[in-house]
A = this chain, B = another copy of it.
Amino acid sequence: MTDWLTPDEWAALRLSLLVAATGTLASLPPGIGIAYLLARRRFWGKSMLDMVVHLPLVLPPVVTGYLLLLGFGRRGLFGAWLAEIGIVFSFRWTGAALACAVMGFPLLVRALRLSIEAVDRRLEQAAATLGANPLQVFVRVTLPLILPGVIAGMVLAFAKAMGEFGATITFVSNIPGETQTLPSAIYTLTQIPGGEAGAMRLTLISIIVSMAALLMSELLARGVARRLAA
């Protein structure tokens, strides 16, 4: 195995997993919150919020990365401020995770929103008459019912994160062991003569990882479906 990958590539694989997992998990709570708002509430600026969520999809990743750099870079608007309370994204793996989270966010939110909209609200009403406050209703009824959507959204976000490099490389560069993820490494290899073989090898690895994640999610989803089945 160790022959298969150079130390830098190993590091890239590890980092990719870390970044994709962190990005996906960290975006889940805000994703659920925003999906809930979009699915259920009417408020001023809702279309705006919807648009902002979709932006990373619409913008070329390079632009998203550049905007992240402007916003969360060391000298960026929020970056400078966050740095003061000890949260630094720029040129750290955390930045790569942020980039992946942002890029996967529209996919996550859409899947969640679709599921929330499909929930039978009469069940939520029933829960309320049983004494559950809105939070309890959400946690004990809505959330379990949208689990298929949560799984689907997380798979999409994770897969996206495993393939994302445009925003990542623009935001946090491509520093081996620190911000070089698998897709960045693949990208670099496609830029040099004779890099194809290496690129294909890394691509295969990335496919295998995503395949594993996908299979796991399918198993999970099947379990959930069985529980909800008619």
A residues lining the B interface (CB < 8 Å): 47, 50-51, 54-63, 66, 106-107, 110-111, 113-115, 117-118, 120-122, 148-149, 152, 155-156, 159-160, 162-163, 165-166, 183, 186-187, 190, 199, 203, 206-207, 210-211, 214-215, 218, 225, 230
Contacts and interface: CB of A to CB of B under 8 A. Distances in A.
Given A111-B110, A111-B111, A59 B163 contact: yes
Contact of A58 (B59, B122, B210, B225): B210
B63 A122 contact: no
Contact of A230 (B111, B122, B199, B203): B122
Contact of A207 (B58, B211, B214): B58
B121 A118 contact: no
A220 to B, nearest CB: 13
A60 B163 contact: yes
Given A47-B218, A51-B211, A162-B58, A63 B190 contact: yes
Nearest to A159: B57
A51 B214 contact: yes
